Structure 1
């Protein structure tokens, strides 16, 4: 590829997503901005300078839904190149910080925010591959989250395999 061709390509950006379950429902937002404007997704967005991955994930959920979450483990890495964007997205399993505060509201760039029954996922248009990530993450969540990469000890922002017994 020529240098001029490379200059026309978008610079890859780091994104994060939060997969949050409440019973048999997953927290979803309808995107209000490109890429994938109007499609349904998990809450998430770009990591900001100086921000850790888990911090970015918690911030994005709060900005888009008003809910506070605690990040559990890294469950998927997705690369998306669409509509002139190039994202490497790290999806985390997260849990509500306060299960008593569970009613999402659409804020920031989200058109809508709601709990979607897993049995209804096919009724919500979303980017290719996301439904598989959600359903596989639900199996992990339902089985107590015994897989995925977990946060290393502070001060690092590393995610590593859990120690085996």
Structure 2
């Protein structure tokens, strides 16, 4: 039942996002989690969150903003979990401000990720991650202390990406 309910919630959100922001590619990764991590994901689903969102931020010269999380060696767009009552678009703007210290305007979708989350002795749970295309508006990029180790503008995709789909994002 949880598998069907989470899949339906994600599929409904995908349809609404595409209607509002336009079509984009859909990735369908599968994540293996420990039972405690999965339990936190279930609690977030039951609190009416979908998953999370990020922003692929570009400035006028075409450079894109990437972040590296504390304890990680890979780069990705700024982003994070949505909060109860918050749209994925609102989450993308908030997370970008919190993680990188910049303000953005969203203009469309870059990619959606329908994530199948598996854990031992747990049913499959579906979560949604939306990556929005965004224009840089203001702010000096600064990493959020205790969460983000580095923030930088790039004109080429870094070799060490958090997940392979980032290499498909436009520059």
TM category, shorter: 0.5 to 0.7
**How do 1:10-159 and structure 2 match up within 5 A?**
10=38, 11=42, 13-22=50-59, 23-32=61-70, 37-80=72-115, 87-98=127-138, 101=139, 103-108=140-145, 109-118=147-156, 121-132=157-168, 134-135=169-170, 138=171
Q: How many residues align?
A: 122
Go from structure 1 to structure 2 and tell me whether the alpha carbon gap of 1:107 and 1:78 turns closer, same or farther (over 3 Å shift).
Answer: same
How far apart, in 2, do the equivalents of 1:106 and 1:82 lie? Answer: 29
Deviation at residue 14 of structure 1 after TM alignment: 1.1
Go from structure 1 to structure 2 and tell me whether the alpha carbon gap of 1:61 and 1:83 turns closer, same or farther (over 3 Å shift).
Answer: farther
Deviation at residue 124 of structure 1 after TM alignment: 3.3
Go from structure 1 to structure 2 and tell me whether the alpha carbon gap of 1:87 and 1:112 turns closer, same or farther (over 3 Å shift).
Answer: farther
Classify the secondary structure of the residue corresponding to 2:164.
coil
How far apart, in 2, do the equivalents of 1:32 and 1:83 lie? Answer: 25
Deviation at residue 87 of structure 1 after TM alignment: 4.5
Deviation at residue 82 of structure 1 after TM alignment: 8.0
Contact 2:75 2:158 in 1 (8 A): no
Gaps of 5+ in 1: 1-6, 139-165
Structure with the bigger percentage of helix: 2
Go from structure 1 to structure 2 and tell me whether the alpha carbon gap of 1:55 and 1:115 turns closer, same or farther (over 3 Å shift).
Answer: same
Q: Name the TM-score, length of structure 2 as normaliser.
A: 0.60
Gaps of 5+ in 2: 1-33, 120-124
Higher relative contact order (CA 8 A, sep 6+): 2
Classify the secondary structure of the residue corresponding to 1:123.
coil
How far apart, in 2, do the equivalents of 1:126 and 1:87 lie? Answer: 18
How far apart, in 2, do the equivalents of 1:69 and 1:79 lie? Answer: 24
Deviation at residue 55 of structure 1 after TM alignment: 1.3
